[in-house]
Every structure is written in structure tokens, then in C-alpha cells.
Chains A and B, each alone.
Chain A
Amino acid sequence: MTEPTRRKSELTAYLSHELRNALACIQQFGNILVDGLAGELSGEQREYIGIMLENASKIRSVLDSALDGVPDPLEKCTNKIERASGLET
């Protein structure tokens, strides 16, 4: 593995790790609120936290598909962005 590739892999592993931990906290405490473990919520409050949790799930999907489990995650992620934006050559 070349030095730039190794450094990219380390960076993506670091990013994935940090984002997953932060996301875990968001989901954990969102679910704690929704389940009433910290007191009852109004219907509107539950709805808004539900929106927050749905979007946290979307971030997780992006993480799963773009950053993990590939030899060069940054390259895969870049390719996805290029495809989505029509910039792929």
C-alpha cells in the first residue's frame, strides 16, 4: 500500500469511528426521550425527535455504504458523489 493510500485509509477509518460514536449517542438519547425514560413528551415533541432519528438513520446508511468495508473508502465515496452529480468521466 502506498503512503497516500495508507493515510487515506487511516483518515476514513478515523472518520467512520468518530461519526459512528457520535451517531450512536444521538440515536441512543433520541430513543431514550421517545420512550419516555426521561419523562413524558408531547405529541409534537415526539414527532420532532422522530424526524431527528430518521435523519440519523440516513446518516448511518451513508456511513455503511460509503465509508466501511471497502479497500479504498474515499475513492468509493468520491465515485458515488461524482455519479450523483453527473461528473463521472
Chain B
Amino acid sequence: MPKAELLDPQGKAVAGALVRLGKTEFSGVRIGKRFEVTVDRPVDDALLAEVRELAVDMFSNSVIEDVVSVTALREPQGPQ
């Protein structure tokens, strides 16, 4: 996710669209990214730790983004 203190112009544009749709109870939108990483073996703690390391070092840039969660999905999601 973009760091809380940073302007997220994309989120701001979507928040503006919500207002135009009459959805006035939502005061803000912030947009982040989700990465789905596939392996052909069971997910264990070591693998999750490795993915977390990748998430911090490569998938995100710690100057502008925070990693908010790294979890194992039981079933692959989305088209294979």
C-alpha cells in the first residue's frame, strides 16, 4: 500500500468518482497492489518468510509503500 502520509492521486480520483455516484459516506480511497506468487509445493513458514522478504525488497519500495500482509491461499485464485 502507498504510505499513509503520501498523496495517492489514483485513490483520490476514485474517491471523487464515488462522490459523483452519490456514495458520500466514503471519505477516502487508497489503492495498493496485490501479488499472487505460485509454487508447486505446500506453503510453509520458511516460504512465507522468503516471500515476505521479496515483498519488502522487490515487490514494494519501502520509501513509498508498506507491505501490509503476506498470507498463504489454500486455492490458487484467478486464471491459471
Q: Do A and B come from one complex?
A: no
